[in-house]
Amino acid sequence: MTTTDTTVLVVDDDFRVASVHVGFVEAVPGFRVVGQAGTAAEALRQARELRPDLVLMDVYLPDGDGLDVVRRLLADPDPSLPTSPSSQRFAPPGASGTRGPGSGAATGSGAATGSGAAAGSGAGPAGSEAGPAVIVISAANDLATVRRAVQLGALHYLVKPFGFAELAERLTAFRQAQERIAALGDAATQDDVNRLFDLLRPASAPPAEEGRRLAPTLQAVLDAVTAQRADVSAQEIATAIGISRTTAQRALIQLEQSGLVRLELRYGSTGRPEHRYAPRRPR
């Protein structure tokens, strides 16, 4: 079972957008951003130096194409760097140059399909290791770009703009798949493979259904958010109902993922954006 944080490199040519995505990633328990790049050259350098588990890759970069970076990373993840024989990495499905079985790919909507997709631990023959998994995040929605991402082995494809819940759902599915692979050992049964594929097709329950079965703390937090006339922070909710800030933050993340509240990022003059929450009104 994976006990350490899943490390992420965020690549986007727009610094403000990248900061939003960094905030999204770090709001998901078990994930840690280790780098942020705004160019293809910087993305390639940081990916090889930092060796993240996952890369959020933009397509349009000022000095190149993000998918070309993906191709280079997966074809040559830089074997000159040290590898960890015990490392359990999720090998991107169908990726050219990965050291795992199968040649499946991911669909443009993010559900993995194909024979052998998502197979392998990432740790290949002695002295080699697969590159990072990749989620493409781009405004590009033309079929040619989506097809290239699929052929390269992108785990998911998110078209901008997207909300926190959409990314969090895919990150959580990725981490669960990593943990399942780490627990499998050297071989997998067909049932194991089926469960891995199921993990990569997360299906959120409808908001109304979630609302009918909220735990008491979640209901209390939702009521507190709904009672406010303006957006609120985790600390404000914690103070209002007498729980810790950590508990409030976890509850707010779950409510946001369920579609019951929405996350808004408030930017100050310096530092990371503040996470603010407001009730999601019916349309």
- pLDDT value at position 35? 96
User: How far is it, in rounded angstroms, from Cα 58 to Cα 39?
Assistant: 9
- pLDDT value at position 78? 59
pTM above 0.85, yes or no: no
- pLDDT value at position 143? 94
- pLDDT value at position 219? 85
- pLDDT value at position 64? 93
Separation in Å, CA 211 to CA 185, 186, 223, 246: 39, 41, 11, 22
At residue 229, what is the residue type? R
CA torsion, points 178, 59, 262, 239, in degrees to nearest 10? 70
List of domains in the chain: 6-199 (3.40.50.2300), 207-279 (1.10.10.10)
User: How far is it, in rounded angstroms, from Cα 78 to Cα 95?
Assistant: 15
Hey, what are 55's tokens? 């890369």
Could you list the pLDDT tens digit for every one of the 283 residues in the chain? 446 899 999 999 998 888 888 988 988 889 999 999 999 999 999 999 999 999 999 999 999 999 999 999 888 765 444 443 334 454 544 444 443 333 333 444 443 333 333 333 333 333 335 789 999 999 899 999 999 999 998 999 998 877 777 888 899 889 988 888 888 888 888 888 888 877 777 554 444 444 455 778 888 898 888 887 788 999 999 988 889 989 898 889 888 877 888 888 887 666 678 889 988 765 4
Separation in Å, CA 155 to CA 49, 82, 230: 22, 25, 37
Hey, what are 18's tokens? 């990248």
- pLDDT value at position 151? 93
- pLDDT value at position 55? 97
At residue 10, what is the residue type? V
Q: How many CB atoms lie within 10 A of CB 244?
A: 11
Peptide bond into 161 cis (omega under 30): yes
- pLDDT value at position 52? 96
- pLDDT value at position 180? 86
- pLDDT value at position 228? 78
CB 12 within 8 A of CB 137: yes
Report the candidate in 88, 11, 96 with the shortest Cα–Cα distance to residue 55: 11
- pLDDT value at position 202? 56
- pLDDT value at position 112? 39
Hey, what are 93's tokens? 């499905």
For 283, counting Cβ atoms within 10 Å of its Cβ (0-12 exposed, 13-18 middle, 19+ buried), the class is exposed
- pLDDT value at position 3? 62
The residue behind tokens 């943990």 is: 179
